[in-house]
Amino acid sequence: MKKTVGSNVLLAGPLLYLALLYITACTDFQEASAQRADGAQGAPVPSVQVTQPHRAAVSRTLTLLGSVEAFEKAKLYAKVAGYLEKIHVDIGDQVQQGQVLAVLDIPEMTMEYAQAEAELTEAKAQHTKAQADYELQKVIHERSKTLREREAITQQDLDEAKAKYEVAEAGVKLAQARIANVQAHLGKLKTLMDYAKIKAPFDGIVTERFVDPGALIQAATTASVNISPVVTVQRVATVRVFVDVPEPDVPAVDRGDPATLVLSALPQKKFEGVVTRFASALNPSTRTMKVEVDFPNPEGLLRPGMYGNLTLALETRAEALTLPATALVVQQGKTFVYIVKDGQAQRVEVTTGIDDGIRVEIASGLQGHAEVISAGASTVTDGGRVRAVRADALATNSQAVPH
């Protein structure tokens, strides 16, 4: 009896070992089969960052190089020739409209004016004499007519009295004409002498001075090419900035469009203005249109000759449906985005609008609730499986990782 039991125990050990080997082999086979199945399904599912379109204000802008110019600028010349007697201003001086900046000395004109005044005095004296003679001849003529009616004088006496009266009347008119002629000459001389005073045509600042006292100043009406101006005055309380807008952007330019100026000399400051006027015609040689923006300059920071970048806001959409520019894919001249739906990437053709370089307006082809791949779109294919990760979730996880 003891011998039988011992034999059974000896037989059970090998059988148990064989059973364990069989189970292990089956498990390894099932795992290998599962790995082969997974391999047949493809590579691991990629993760992509997604976002939803949202409405925001977008602007179409154009940045061009511009130069600051004075609102008004005038080189002041003398209209009459003479020697510079006085100059009251120098570069950098503020001047007011009508202020005398320089005075010319014109001795011959002064003498001519004095002579004309003497002629006027003589002409007035002659007029007084002629008027007295006229009054006398008028009385004689009236008396002669009465005497003739009474036949106290002959007709010849009356005719002689009438003739003297008419001559005296003509003498008065001649004296009056001479007075008017001399007065006109005096007025001309006075105007020319007033030209000897160089005056500021507007409020501004003197930016150039060309002559010193004693210099001979030629009249600007002569044909000489060596005529020197006296000073240059510029109005800088308001300045202009001109830019040449390329033809494709011309239709979008309009008066009142906002503009921002950043100067190379003052990079930390931004000057705000609006489009004031434009040429409404293109330069045939450059196919550009000249556009002007005026900037108030109360502090004088904008100085003629400075240059910088002028940015024009050509179009603005207040509630545009937008996506990050990185979400767009351009293929064969068409624009697409990839959306994630049921774990798969789907390519959707869209029409874009304003692009400010950061966000792009989606004019058509997309709904506002779609999950759009904003990063990693180049790694997916239409219909491929993806794992969507929201941008805000990535930001939260990155903040949670200790550094």
| CATH numbers and ranges of domains, the chain | 47-54+319-400 (2.40.420.20), 64-68+236-318 (2.40.30.170), 78-102+197-229 (2.40.50.100), 107-195 (1.10.287.470)
Confidence of residue 104 (pLDDT cuts 50, 70, 90): very high
Confidence (pTM): 0.62
Confidence of residue 69 (pLDDT cuts 50, 70, 90): very high
Mean pLDDT of the chain: 84
- 81-85, 158-162, 284-288, 380-384: which is most confident: 284-288
pLDDT at 357: 76
- 171-180, 223-232, 386-395: which is most confident: 171-180
Confidence of residue 67 (pLDDT cuts 50, 70, 90): very high
pLDDT at 326: 86
Residue 40 pLDDT > 70: no
Residue 318 vs residues 59, 60, 128, 366, 397: alpha-carbon distances, Å: 9, 12, 84, 18, 33
Residue 292 vs residues 99, 158, 265, 310, 387: alpha-carbon distances, Å: 30, 81, 21, 11, 52
